[in-house]
Chains A and B, each alone.
Chain A
Amino acid sequence: MESQVDTSKIVTFAKLEDVLALGRANSLWPLTFGLACCAIEMMATGMARFDLSRFGAEVFRPSPRQADLMIIAGTVNKKMAPAVKLLYDQMLEPKWVMALGNCAISGGPFVYPGQYAVIEGVDQLFPVDVYVPGCPPRPEALIEGILKLEEKLTGKRRFPVAKLKE
Protein backbone atom coordinates (compact mmCIF):
# COMPACT_ATOMS: atom_id res chain seq x y z
CA MET A 1 0.00 0.00 0.00
CA GLU A 2 1.39 3.36 -0.88
CA SER A 3 2.07 5.84 1.87
CA GLN A 4 -0.30 8.70 2.31
CA VAL A 5 0.37 11.64 0.01
CA ASP A 6 0.74 14.89 1.86
CA THR A 7 -1.70 16.94 -0.18
CA SER A 8 -0.77 20.21 1.47
CA LYS A 9 2.41 20.10 -0.54
CA ILE A 10 0.52 19.79 -3.81
CA VAL A 11 -2.62 21.87 -3.45
CA THR A 12 -3.16 24.95 -1.32
CA PHE A 13 -6.53 26.46 -0.61
CA ALA A 14 -6.34 30.22 -0.18
CA LYS A 15 -8.85 32.91 0.40
CA LEU A 16 -9.25 35.45 -2.35
CA GLU A 17 -7.82 38.19 -0.14
CA ASP A 18 -4.59 36.28 0.24
CA VAL A 19 -4.28 36.03 -3.52
CA LEU A 20 -4.99 39.71 -3.89
CA ALA A 21 -2.48 40.54 -1.19
CA LEU A 22 0.12 38.41 -2.94
CA GLY A 23 -0.58 40.18 -6.18
CA ARG A 24 -0.43 43.64 -4.64
CA ALA A 25 2.72 42.93 -2.70
CA ASN A 26 4.60 41.65 -5.68
CA SER A 27 3.67 44.48 -8.00
CA LEU A 28 3.86 47.64 -6.01
CA TRP A 29 3.89 50.61 -8.37
CA PRO A 30 5.70 53.52 -6.79
CA LEU A 31 4.96 57.14 -7.47
CA THR A 32 7.95 59.10 -8.79
CA PHE A 33 8.25 61.43 -5.87
CA GLY A 34 11.87 62.13 -5.31
CA LEU A 35 12.33 65.37 -3.47
CA ALA A 36 16.00 65.53 -2.53
CA CYS A 37 19.07 63.40 -1.94
CA CYS A 38 17.15 60.21 -1.17
CA ALA A 39 15.69 60.40 -4.65
CA ILE A 40 19.08 59.60 -6.12
CA GLU A 41 19.32 56.46 -4.01
CA MET A 42 15.78 55.59 -5.06
CA MET A 43 16.83 55.95 -8.69
CA ALA A 44 19.91 53.85 -8.01
CA THR A 45 17.69 51.15 -6.55
CA GLY A 46 15.74 51.01 -9.76
CA MET A 47 18.88 50.71 -11.84
CA ALA A 48 20.85 47.73 -12.94
CA ARG A 49 22.91 46.93 -9.88
CA PHE A 50 20.24 46.86 -7.19
CA ASP A 51 17.32 46.25 -9.51
CA LEU A 52 14.02 46.90 -7.84
CA SER A 53 12.26 45.13 -10.69
CA ARG A 54 13.15 41.80 -9.12
CA PHE A 55 10.43 42.63 -6.64
CA GLY A 56 7.99 43.95 -9.15
CA ALA A 57 8.35 47.57 -8.18
CA GLU A 58 10.29 49.17 -10.99
CA VAL A 59 7.30 50.68 -12.72
CA PHE A 60 7.52 54.21 -11.38
CA ARG A 61 4.37 56.03 -12.37
CA PRO A 62 4.37 59.81 -12.62
CA SER A 63 0.67 60.09 -12.00
CA PRO A 64 -0.73 59.43 -8.51
CA ARG A 65 -3.83 57.89 -10.01
CA GLN A 66 -1.80 55.02 -11.33
CA ALA A 67 0.48 54.40 -8.39
CA ASP A 68 -0.16 52.59 -5.18
CA LEU A 69 3.02 53.15 -3.22
CA MET A 70 4.21 56.63 -2.42
CA ILE A 71 7.89 56.71 -1.55
CA ILE A 72 8.58 60.04 0.11
CA ALA A 73 12.25 60.41 -0.65
CA GLY A 74 13.52 63.65 0.77
CA THR A 75 12.63 66.56 2.97
CA VAL A 76 9.07 67.81 3.05
CA ASN A 77 8.82 71.57 3.41
CA LYS A 78 6.02 73.67 4.75
CA LYS A 79 5.67 75.08 1.24
CA MET A 80 5.60 71.62 -0.30
CA ALA A 81 3.31 70.00 2.29
CA PRO A 82 -0.01 70.92 0.62
CA ALA A 83 1.23 69.42 -2.64
CA VAL A 84 2.29 66.20 -0.91
CA LYS A 85 -1.06 65.94 0.84
CA LEU A 86 -2.86 66.52 -2.44
CA LEU A 87 -0.85 63.77 -4.10
CA TYR A 88 -1.64 61.40 -1.25
CA ASP A 89 -5.33 62.21 -1.51
CA GLN A 90 -5.30 61.65 -5.23
CA MET A 91 -3.93 58.15 -4.93
CA LEU A 92 -6.55 55.43 -5.02
CA GLU A 93 -7.06 52.87 -2.28
CA PRO A 94 -5.36 50.60 -1.41
CA LYS A 95 -2.30 52.76 -1.02
CA TRP A 96 0.78 52.61 1.09
CA VAL A 97 3.40 55.14 2.07
CA MET A 98 7.09 54.59 2.64
CA ALA A 99 9.06 57.28 4.42
CA LEU A 100 12.54 57.01 2.92
CA GLY A 101 15.33 58.67 4.77
CA ASN A 102 15.66 60.62 7.97
CA CYS A 103 14.03 63.75 6.60
CA ALA A 104 10.80 61.96 5.80
CA ILE A 105 10.80 60.15 9.12
CA SER A 106 11.42 63.07 11.41
CA GLY A 107 12.81 66.07 9.59
CA GLY A 108 16.30 64.66 9.48
CA PRO A 109 19.42 66.78 9.90
CA PHE A 110 17.46 69.98 9.30
CA VAL A 111 15.71 70.10 12.63
CA TYR A 112 17.18 72.59 15.04
CA PRO A 113 15.51 74.70 17.70
CA GLY A 114 13.83 77.57 15.93
CA GLN A 115 13.57 76.02 12.49
CA TYR A 116 10.99 77.54 10.25
CA ALA A 117 10.66 75.53 7.08
CA VAL A 118 10.76 71.76 7.51
CA ILE A 119 7.93 69.47 8.43
CA GLU A 120 9.26 67.19 11.11
CA GLY A 121 8.31 63.87 9.67
CA VAL A 122 5.85 63.14 6.95
CA ASP A 123 3.68 61.12 9.31
CA GLN A 124 2.36 64.44 10.56
CA LEU A 125 0.53 64.69 7.25
CA PHE A 126 -0.71 61.17 6.67
CA PRO A 127 -0.13 57.64 7.96
CA VAL A 128 3.09 55.95 7.01
CA ASP A 129 3.50 52.20 6.61
CA VAL A 130 7.25 51.70 6.43
CA TYR A 131 10.05 53.87 7.78
CA VAL A 132 13.46 53.42 6.19
CA PRO A 133 16.14 55.26 8.16
CA GLY A 134 19.39 56.55 6.73
CA CYS A 135 20.80 59.72 5.32
CA PRO A 136 20.51 58.65 2.59
CA PRO A 137 19.63 54.99 3.13
CA ARG A 138 21.48 52.54 0.97
CA PRO A 139 19.56 50.97 -1.92
CA GLU A 140 19.61 47.71 0.00
CA ALA A 141 17.76 49.49 2.79
CA LEU A 142 15.07 50.59 0.38
CA ILE A 143 14.71 47.03 -0.85
CA GLU A 144 14.42 45.89 2.75
CA GLY A 145 11.68 48.48 3.15
CA ILE A 146 9.85 47.01 0.17
CA LEU A 147 10.23 43.54 1.64
CA LYS A 148 8.87 44.71 4.97
CA LEU A 149 5.91 46.21 3.18
CA GLU A 150 5.36 42.91 1.41
CA GLU A 151 5.46 41.20 4.76
CA LYS A 152 2.91 43.68 6.06
CA LEU A 153 0.63 42.93 3.11
CA THR A 154 0.91 39.17 2.90
CA GLY A 155 1.92 38.23 6.42
CA LYS A 156 4.90 36.27 5.15
CA ARG A 157 8.41 37.49 4.52
CA ARG A 158 9.88 36.74 1.12
CA PHE A 159 13.43 35.93 2.21
CA PRO A 160 14.35 34.57 5.61
CA VAL A 161 16.26 36.97 7.80
CA ALA A 162 19.92 36.08 7.73
CA LYS A 163 21.18 34.80 11.05
CA LEU A 164 24.55 36.12 12.01
CA LYS A 165 27.13 33.52 12.94
CA GLU A 166 28.12 33.86 16.56
Chain B
Amino acid sequence: MIVRKESIPPGPSGEAPSETFVLNLGPQHPAAHGVLRVLMTMDGEWITKAEPVIGYIHRMHEKMGENRTWAQFLPNTSRIDYLSAMHYTHAFVGAVERAAKIEVPPRAEYVRVITSELNRIASHMVWWGAMLADLGGLTPFLYAFDDRELILDLLEGICGARLTYCYYRFGGLCNDIDDDFVQGTRAFVKHMPPRLKMYRDLVTDNIILRKRLTGIGPISAEMCRKYGATGPVIRGSGVAYDVRKIEPYSVYPQFDFKIPTYPECDSMARYLVRMDEMEQSLRIIEQALDQLPAGPVMGKVPRVLKLPPGDYCYAVEAARGRFMVRIVSDGKDTPYRVKLRTPSFSNLSLYEEASKGMILPDALAMMGSLDLVIPDIDR
Protein backbone atom coordinates (compact mmCIF):
# COMPACT_ATOMS: atom_id res chain seq x y z
CA MET B 1 0.00 0.00 0.00
CA ILE B 2 1.65 3.21 -1.09
CA VAL B 3 1.27 5.82 1.59
CA ARG B 4 3.55 8.53 0.42
CA LYS B 5 4.99 9.45 -2.91
CA GLU B 6 8.19 11.40 -2.74
CA SER B 7 8.47 12.50 -6.33
CA ILE B 8 6.40 12.56 -9.48
CA PRO B 9 7.19 9.40 -11.45
CA PRO B 10 8.29 9.70 -15.06
CA GLY B 11 5.66 9.40 -17.78
CA PRO B 12 5.68 6.78 -20.54
CA SER B 13 8.26 8.67 -22.59
CA GLY B 14 10.66 8.80 -19.67
CA GLU B 15 10.44 12.41 -18.54
CA ALA B 16 8.46 13.70 -15.58
CA PRO B 17 4.88 14.55 -16.48
CA SER B 18 4.07 18.24 -16.34
CA GLU B 19 0.37 17.72 -15.81
CA THR B 20 -0.71 18.75 -12.40
CA PHE B 21 -4.09 20.24 -11.73
CA VAL B 22 -5.42 22.32 -8.92
CA LEU B 23 -8.29 20.82 -6.97
CA ASN B 24 -10.20 23.32 -4.94
CA LEU B 25 -11.54 21.82 -1.73
CA GLY B 26 -13.87 24.75 -1.58
CA PRO B 27 -15.24 26.69 1.32
CA GLN B 28 -18.36 24.60 1.08
CA HIS B 29 -17.47 20.96 1.47
CA PRO B 30 -18.81 18.26 3.73
CA ALA B 31 -15.34 17.34 4.93
CA ALA B 32 -14.02 20.83 5.41
CA HIS B 33 -15.31 21.21 8.97
CA GLY B 34 -16.56 24.65 8.30
CA VAL B 35 -15.38 27.14 5.76
CA LEU B 36 -11.86 26.04 5.02
CA ARG B 37 -10.57 26.20 1.51
CA VAL B 38 -7.59 24.07 0.52
CA LEU B 39 -5.99 24.56 -2.86
CA MET B 40 -4.51 21.20 -3.67
CA THR B 41 -2.09 20.89 -6.52
CA MET B 42 -2.54 17.29 -7.51
CA ASP B 43 -0.65 14.86 -9.61
CA GLY B 44 -3.39 12.33 -10.22
CA GLU B 45 -4.43 11.27 -6.77
CA TRP B 46 -1.28 12.48 -5.04
CA ILE B 47 -1.00 15.90 -3.51
CA THR B 48 2.08 17.87 -4.39
CA LYS B 49 1.06 21.00 -2.54
CA ALA B 50 -1.90 21.65 -0.27
CA GLU B 51 -2.30 25.31 0.57
CA PRO B 52 -5.03 26.22 3.05
CA VAL B 53 -6.82 29.49 2.34
CA ILE B 54 -8.55 30.86 5.39
CA GLY B 55 -10.48 33.97 6.28
CA TYR B 56 -13.93 32.93 5.17
CA ILE B 57 -15.32 33.19 8.69
CA HIS B 58 -13.12 36.00 9.98
CA ARG B 59 -15.32 37.71 12.51
CA MET B 60 -13.04 40.43 13.82
CA HIS B 61 -12.75 39.15 17.37
CA GLU B 62 -9.47 40.90 18.01
CA LYS B 63 -10.71 44.21 16.70
CA MET B 64 -13.91 43.85 18.67
CA GLY B 65 -11.78 43.42 21.76
CA GLU B 66 -10.70 47.00 21.35
CA ASN B 67 -14.25 48.28 20.97
CA ARG B 68 -15.81 46.52 23.89
CA THR B 69 -15.32 46.83 27.59
CA TRP B 70 -13.77 43.93 29.43
CA ALA B 71 -17.14 42.43 30.32
CA GLN B 72 -18.72 43.09 26.94
CA PHE B 73 -16.10 40.91 25.30
CA LEU B 74 -17.21 37.78 27.16
CA PRO B 75 -19.85 36.66 24.61
CA ASN B 76 -17.18 36.88 21.92
CA THR B 77 -15.00 34.40 23.74
CA SER B 78 -17.64 31.70 23.45
CA ARG B 79 -17.89 32.13 19.72
CA ILE B 80 -14.22 31.82 18.87
CA ASP B 81 -14.42 28.05 19.24
CA TYR B 82 -18.01 27.26 19.97
CA LEU B 83 -17.43 23.58 20.64
CA SER B 84 -15.27 24.17 23.70
CA ALA B 85 -16.61 27.57 24.61
CA MET B 86 -16.05 27.23 28.36
CA HIS B 87 -12.28 26.96 27.96
CA TYR B 88 -12.06 30.11 25.92
CA THR B 89 -14.12 32.10 28.38
CA HIS B 90 -11.93 30.66 31.13
CA ALA B 91 -8.78 31.97 29.50
CA PHE B 92 -10.06 35.50 29.05
CA VAL B 93 -11.59 35.64 32.51
CA GLY B 94 -8.38 34.22 33.97
CA ALA B 95 -6.24 36.81 32.23
CA VAL B 96 -8.34 39.68 33.55
CA GLU B 97 -8.45 38.20 37.04
CA ARG B 98 -4.71 37.76 36.99
CA ALA B 99 -4.17 41.37 35.96
CA ALA B 100 -6.69 42.92 38.31
CA LYS B 101 -5.73 40.54 41.16
CA ILE B 102 -9.30 39.37 41.65
CA GLU B 103 -9.75 36.48 44.05
CA VAL B 104 -11.89 33.60 42.84
CA PRO B 105 -13.63 31.53 45.52
CA PRO B 106 -12.66 27.83 45.52
CA ARG B 107 -16.17 26.64 44.78
CA ALA B 108 -16.20 28.67 41.60
CA GLU B 109 -12.86 27.19 40.57
CA TYR B 110 -14.11 23.66 41.06
CA VAL B 111 -17.30 24.32 39.11
CA ARG B 112 -15.20 25.89 36.35
CA VAL B 113 -13.15 22.71 36.16
CA ILE B 114 -16.24 20.50 36.10
CA THR B 115 -17.92 22.47 33.34
CA SER B 116 -14.70 22.75 31.35
CA GLU B 117 -14.16 19.02 31.43
CA LEU B 118 -17.77 18.34 30.47
CA ASN B 119 -17.26 20.71 27.57
CA ARG B 120 -14.10 18.89 26.58
CA ILE B 121 -16.00 15.61 26.39
CA ALA B 122 -18.75 17.25 24.35
CA SER B 123 -16.19 18.71 21.96
CA HIS B 124 -14.42 15.39 21.53
CA MET B 125 -17.73 13.74 20.77
CA VAL B 126 -18.36 16.15 17.92
CA TRP B 127 -14.80 15.61 16.69
CA TRP B 128 -15.26 11.87 16.81
CA GLY B 129 -18.53 11.92 14.90
CA ALA B 130 -17.26 14.39 12.31
CA MET B 131 -13.99 12.58 11.71
CA LEU B 132 -15.72 9.27 11.22
CA ALA B 133 -18.21 10.94 8.91
CA ASP B 134 -15.24 12.14 6.86
CA LEU B 135 -13.95 8.61 6.66
CA GLY B 136 -17.36 7.38 5.58
CA GLY B 137 -18.84 6.00 8.77
CA LEU B 138 -22.03 7.95 9.27
CA THR B 139 -23.60 6.07 12.19
CA PRO B 140 -21.26 7.04 15.05
CA PHE B 141 -22.31 10.65 14.52
CA LEU B 142 -25.74 9.80 15.89
CA TYR B 143 -24.34 8.07 18.96
CA ALA B 144 -21.90 10.88 19.62
CA PHE B 145 -24.59 13.53 19.51
CA ASP B 146 -26.80 11.41 21.74
CA ASP B 147 -24.15 11.49 24.47
CA ARG B 148 -23.51 15.13 23.80
CA GLU B 149 -27.17 16.00 24.35
CA LEU B 150 -26.87 14.67 27.90
CA ILE B 151 -24.01 17.07 28.57
CA LEU B 152 -25.87 19.93 26.95
CA ASP B 153 -28.87 19.28 29.17
CA LEU B 154 -26.67 19.57 32.24
CA LEU B 155 -25.02 22.76 31.08
CA GLU B 156 -28.30 24.25 29.96
CA GLY B 157 -29.66 23.70 33.43
CA ILE B 158 -27.04 25.92 35.00
CA CYS B 159 -26.41 28.61 32.46
CA GLY B 160 -29.27 28.53 30.01
CA ALA B 161 -27.33 28.03 26.81
CA ARG B 162 -26.63 24.91 24.82
CA LEU B 163 -23.65 25.92 22.81
CA THR B 164 -22.27 29.38 23.40
CA TYR B 165 -22.29 29.61 27.16
CA CYS B 166 -21.13 32.76 28.83
CA TYR B 167 -21.08 31.17 32.23
CA TYR B 168 -17.90 32.48 33.82
CA ARG B 169 -17.62 36.04 35.03
CA PHE B 170 -14.71 37.98 36.40
CA GLY B 171 -14.38 36.69 39.94
CA GLY B 172 -16.39 33.49 39.59
CA LEU B 173 -19.56 32.33 37.96
CA CYS B 174 -22.84 33.98 37.12
CA ASN B 175 -24.99 31.25 38.70
CA ASP B 176 -24.35 28.66 41.32
CA ILE B 177 -24.93 25.02 40.49
CA ASP B 178 -27.75 23.11 42.12
CA ASP B 179 -28.31 19.53 43.24
CA ASP B 180 -29.86 18.59 39.91
CA PHE B 181 -26.60 19.40 38.22
CA VAL B 182 -24.52 17.42 40.70
CA GLN B 183 -26.77 14.37 40.48
CA GLY B 184 -27.06 14.64 36.73
CA THR B 185 -23.29 14.87 36.36
CA ARG B 186 -22.75 11.87 38.58
CA ALA B 187 -25.28 9.94 36.51
CA PHE B 188 -23.49 11.03 33.36
CA VAL B 189 -20.12 9.92 34.72
CA LYS B 190 -21.66 6.49 35.31
CA HIS B 191 -23.34 6.45 31.92
CA MET B 192 -20.27 7.21 29.82
CA PRO B 193 -17.74 4.38 30.46
CA PRO B 194 -19.94 1.60 28.96
CA ARG B 195 -20.57 3.86 25.96
CA LEU B 196 -16.87 4.52 25.55
CA LYS B 197 -16.26 0.81 25.74
CA MET B 198 -18.84 0.25 23.03
CA TYR B 199 -17.14 2.84 20.85
CA ARG B 200 -13.81 1.20 21.45
CA ASP B 201 -15.09 -2.23 20.52
CA LEU B 202 -17.09 -1.18 17.50
CA VAL B 203 -15.11 1.70 16.08
CA THR B 204 -11.60 1.98 17.48
CA ASP B 205 -10.90 -1.72 17.06
CA ASN B 206 -12.57 -1.79 13.67
CA ILE B 207 -10.16 -3.12 11.09
CA ILE B 208 -11.24 -0.54 8.52
CA LEU B 209 -10.54 2.36 10.85
CA ARG B 210 -7.22 0.88 11.83
CA LYS B 211 -6.18 0.53 8.22
CA ARG B 212 -7.36 4.03 7.39
CA LEU B 213 -5.54 5.75 10.22
CA THR B 214 -2.46 3.77 11.17
CA GLY B 215 0.64 5.18 9.56
CA ILE B 216 -1.28 8.03 7.96
CA GLY B 217 -0.19 11.62 8.35
CA PRO B 218 3.01 11.37 10.39
CA ILE B 219 3.83 14.57 12.27
CA SER B 220 7.08 14.44 14.19
CA ALA B 221 7.54 16.02 17.59
CA GLU B 222 10.12 18.38 16.14
CA MET B 223 7.61 19.60 13.55
CA CYS B 224 5.04 20.15 16.29
CA ARG B 225 7.47 22.25 18.26
CA LYS B 226 8.54 24.34 15.29
CA TYR B 227 4.98 25.05 14.21
CA GLY B 228 3.60 25.44 17.71
CA ALA B 229 1.12 22.59 17.31
CA THR B 230 -0.26 21.61 20.69
CA GLY B 231 -2.97 19.52 22.18
CA PRO B 232 -3.63 16.03 20.91
CA VAL B 233 -1.39 16.72 17.91
CA ILE B 234 1.76 17.03 20.02
CA ARG B 235 0.59 14.37 22.47
CA GLY B 236 0.11 11.97 19.59
CA SER B 237 3.75 12.56 18.72
CA GLY B 238 5.10 11.41 22.03
CA VAL B 239 5.50 14.72 23.88
CA ALA B 240 3.50 14.88 27.10
CA TYR B 241 2.67 18.58 26.82
CA ASP B 242 -0.61 19.51 28.45
CA VAL B 243 -1.12 23.00 29.82
CA ARG B 244 -3.02 21.53 32.77
CA LYS B 245 0.11 19.72 33.91
CA ILE B 246 3.00 21.78 32.60
CA GLU B 247 1.62 25.28 33.32
CA PRO B 248 -1.07 24.48 35.88
CA TYR B 249 -3.93 26.89 36.30
CA SER B 250 -7.13 26.98 38.34
CA VAL B 251 -7.38 23.96 40.68
CA TYR B 252 -6.01 21.31 38.33
CA PRO B 253 -3.06 20.49 40.66
CA GLN B 254 -5.61 19.04 43.08
CA PHE B 255 -6.64 16.28 40.73
CA ASP B 256 -4.97 13.04 39.86
CA PHE B 257 -5.18 12.39 36.13
CA LYS B 258 -2.92 11.09 33.42
CA ILE B 259 -1.87 12.74 30.20
CA PRO B 260 -2.40 10.17 27.44
CA THR B 261 0.54 10.20 25.06
CA TYR B 262 1.22 7.94 22.12
CA PRO B 263 4.58 7.93 20.38
CA GLU B 264 3.55 6.76 16.92
CA CYS B 265 2.98 10.28 15.50
CA ASP B 266 0.26 9.10 13.11
CA SER B 267 -3.47 9.82 12.89
CA MET B 268 -4.27 6.73 14.93
CA ALA B 269 -2.16 8.06 17.79
CA ARG B 270 -4.03 11.39 17.76
CA TYR B 271 -7.32 9.51 17.64
CA LEU B 272 -6.39 7.36 20.63
CA VAL B 273 -5.16 10.40 22.57
CA ARG B 274 -8.57 12.02 22.30
CA MET B 275 -10.45 8.85 23.20
CA ASP B 276 -8.28 8.42 26.29
CA GLU B 277 -8.66 12.08 27.17
CA MET B 278 -12.39 11.60 27.49
CA GLU B 279 -11.84 8.94 30.13
CA GLN B 280 -9.40 11.16 31.98
CA SER B 281 -11.91 14.01 31.90
CA LEU B 282 -14.47 11.73 33.53
CA ARG B 283 -11.93 11.00 36.26
CA ILE B 284 -11.36 14.70 36.84
CA ILE B 285 -15.09 15.40 36.99
CA GLU B 286 -15.62 12.66 39.52
CA GLN B 287 -12.82 13.90 41.74
CA ALA B 288 -14.02 17.49 41.46
CA LEU B 289 -17.54 16.51 42.47
CA ASP B 290 -16.16 14.68 45.49
CA GLN B 291 -13.99 17.60 46.51
CA LEU B 292 -16.52 20.34 45.75
CA PRO B 293 -16.46 22.85 48.61
CA ALA B 294 -19.37 24.92 49.75
CA GLY B 295 -19.28 28.67 49.65
CA PRO B 296 -19.91 31.66 47.44
CA VAL B 297 -19.33 31.52 43.72
CA MET B 298 -18.47 35.16 43.13
CA GLY B 299 -15.55 37.16 44.43
CA LYS B 300 -15.24 40.87 44.92
CA VAL B 301 -15.02 42.72 41.64
CA PRO B 302 -15.02 46.49 41.21
CA ARG B 303 -18.02 47.90 39.43
CA VAL B 304 -16.09 49.46 36.63
CA LEU B 305 -13.18 47.24 35.81
CA LYS B 306 -9.95 48.98 34.89
CA LEU B 307 -6.75 47.01 34.68
CA PRO B 308 -3.30 48.37 35.45
CA PRO B 309 -1.34 49.13 32.28
CA GLY B 310 0.80 46.36 30.86
CA ASP B 311 0.34 43.06 29.14
CA TYR B 312 -0.89 39.85 30.70
CA CYS B 313 -1.25 36.31 29.42
CA TYR B 314 -3.28 33.30 30.41
CA ALA B 315 -3.15 29.90 28.77
CA VAL B 316 -5.58 27.00 29.07
CA GLU B 317 -5.75 23.54 27.61
CA ALA B 318 -8.74 23.81 25.31
CA ALA B 319 -10.11 20.74 23.59
CA ARG B 320 -7.96 21.42 20.54
CA GLY B 321 -4.75 22.48 22.18
CA ARG B 322 -3.18 25.43 23.89
CA PHE B 323 -5.31 28.55 23.87
CA MET B 324 -3.59 31.67 25.09
CA VAL B 325 -5.01 35.12 25.58
CA ARG B 326 -2.65 38.08 25.66
CA ILE B 327 -4.33 41.28 26.80
CA VAL B 328 -2.66 44.66 26.64
CA SER B 329 -4.21 47.26 28.85
CA ASP B 330 -3.57 50.97 28.99
CA GLY B 331 -5.54 51.60 32.14
CA LYS B 332 -8.89 52.26 30.50
CA ASP B 333 -12.06 50.21 30.73
CA THR B 334 -11.62 48.75 27.24
CA PRO B 335 -8.66 46.60 26.27
CA TYR B 336 -5.93 48.15 24.15
CA ARG B 337 -5.24 44.88 22.39
CA VAL B 338 -6.57 41.37 22.75
CA LYS B 339 -4.51 38.69 21.08
CA LEU B 340 -6.08 35.27 20.85
CA ARG B 341 -3.60 32.53 20.17
CA THR B 342 -5.80 29.73 18.99
CA PRO B 343 -4.73 26.09 18.72
CA SER B 344 -6.32 25.28 15.37
CA PHE B 345 -4.33 28.05 13.68
CA SER B 346 -1.02 26.53 14.71
CA ASN B 347 -2.26 22.99 14.13
CA LEU B 348 -3.26 23.78 10.57
CA SER B 349 -0.08 25.68 9.77
CA LEU B 350 1.84 22.42 9.52
CA TYR B 351 -0.63 20.93 7.06
CA GLU B 352 1.16 22.17 3.99
CA GLU B 353 4.42 20.53 4.93
CA ALA B 354 2.92 17.39 6.39
CA SER B 355 0.60 16.53 3.52
CA LYS B 356 3.15 16.54 0.71
CA GLY B 357 2.99 13.35 -1.29
CA MET B 358 -0.11 11.92 0.34
CA ILE B 359 -3.14 10.71 -1.52
CA LEU B 360 -6.28 12.70 -1.11
CA PRO B 361 -8.28 10.40 1.20
CA ASP B 362 -5.30 10.12 3.52
CA ALA B 363 -4.86 13.88 3.54
CA LEU B 364 -8.48 14.30 4.56
CA ALA B 365 -8.13 11.67 7.25
CA MET B 366 -5.15 13.58 8.58
CA MET B 367 -7.08 16.84 8.52
CA GLY B 368 -9.83 15.15 10.48
CA SER B 369 -7.32 13.95 13.04
CA LEU B 370 -6.05 17.53 13.53
CA ASP B 371 -9.53 18.46 14.82
CA LEU B 372 -9.97 21.86 13.26
CA VAL B 373 -12.69 24.33 13.95
CA ILE B 374 -12.43 27.04 11.35
CA PRO B 375 -13.71 30.03 13.34
CA ASP B 376 -10.90 29.11 15.73
CA ILE B 377 -8.43 29.66 12.90
CA ASP B 378 -9.98 32.81 11.50
CA ARG B 379 -11.18 34.35 14.72
Interface residues of A (CB under 8 A from B): 32-37, 39-41, 43-44, 47-49, 62, 74-75, 77, 79-80, 83, 87, 109-110, 112-118, 135-136, 138
Residues of B within 8 A of A62 (CB): 28-30
Residues of B within 8 A of A34 (CB): 34
Q: How far is the CA of A62 from the CA of B163 in the complex (A)?
A: 24
Since A35-B35, A44-B148 are in contact, a sample of 4 more A-B pairs with Cβ atoms closer than 8 Å, ordered by chain A residue number, is: A32-B30, A49-B146, A112-B68, A136-B82
B contact residues, range: 20 to 34
Total A-B pairs in contact (CB under 8 Å)? 91
Beyond A75-B57, A80-B56, is A112–B67 a contact (Cβ under 8 Å)?
Answer: yes
Interface residues of B (CB under 8 A from A): 26-30, 34-35, 55-60, 63-64, 67-68, 75-76, 79, 82-83, 126, 141-142, 145-146, 148-149, 162-164, 375
A77 contacts B56, C-beta separation under 8 Å? yes
B64 contacts A110, C-beta separation under 8 Å? yes
A115 to chain B: closest residue by CB: B60
Q: How far is the CA of A44 from the CA of B142 in the complex (A)?
A: 9
Residues of A within 8 A of B163 (CB): 37, 40-41, 136
Residues of B within 8 A of A109 (CB): 75-76, 79
A79 contacts B55, C-beta separation under 8 Å? yes
A51 to chain B: closest residue by CB: B142
Q: How far is the CA of A118 from the CA of B55 in the complex (A)?
A: 11
B27 to chain A: closest residue by CB: A83
Q: How far is the CA of A113 from the CA of B68 in the complex (A)?
A: 11
B60 contacts A116, C-beta separation under 8 Å? yes
Residues of B within 8 A of A74 (CB): 57
B59 contacts A80, C-beta separation under 8 Å? no
B57 contacts A77, C-beta separation under 8 Å? yes
Q: How far is the CA of A138 from the CA of B75 in the complex (A)?
A: 17
The listed residue (B29, B58, B146) touching A77 by CB distance below 8 A is: B58
Beyond A36-B82, A114-B67, is A48–B57 a contact (Cβ under 8 Å)?
Answer: no
The listed residue (A43, A77, A110) touching B55 by CB distance below 8 A is: A77
Q: How far is the CA of A77 from the CA of B54 in the complex (A)?
A: 12
Q: How far is the CA of A135 from the CA of B59 in the complex (A)?
A: 15
A35 contacts B34, C-beta separation under 8 Å? yes
Subset of 12 A-B contacts with CB under 8 Å: A36-B34, A37-B79, A39-B34, A75-B57, A79-B56, A80-B56, A80-B57, A112-B64, A112-B67, A135-B164, A136-B82, A138-B162
Q: How far is the CA of A113 from the CA of B37 in the complex (A)?
A: 29
Q: How far is the CA of A114 from the CA of B163 in the complex (A)?
A: 28
Q: How far is the CA of A43 from the CA of B125 in the complex (A)?
A: 13
Residues of B within 8 A of A80 (CB): 27, 35, 56-57
Q: How far is the CA of A115 from the CA of B66 in the complex (A)?
A: 12
B82 contacts A37, C-beta separation under 8 Å? yes
The listed residue (A117, A136, A138) touching B164 by CB distance below 8 A is: A136
Min CB distance B274 to A, Å, is 18
Residues of A within 8 A of B141 (CB): 43, 47
Residues of A within 8 A of B83 (CB): 40
A40 to chain B: closest residue by CB: B163
**Top 6 closest pairs, chain A to chain B, by CB:** A47-B145, A37-B82, A80-B56, A62-B30, A110-B59, A49-B149
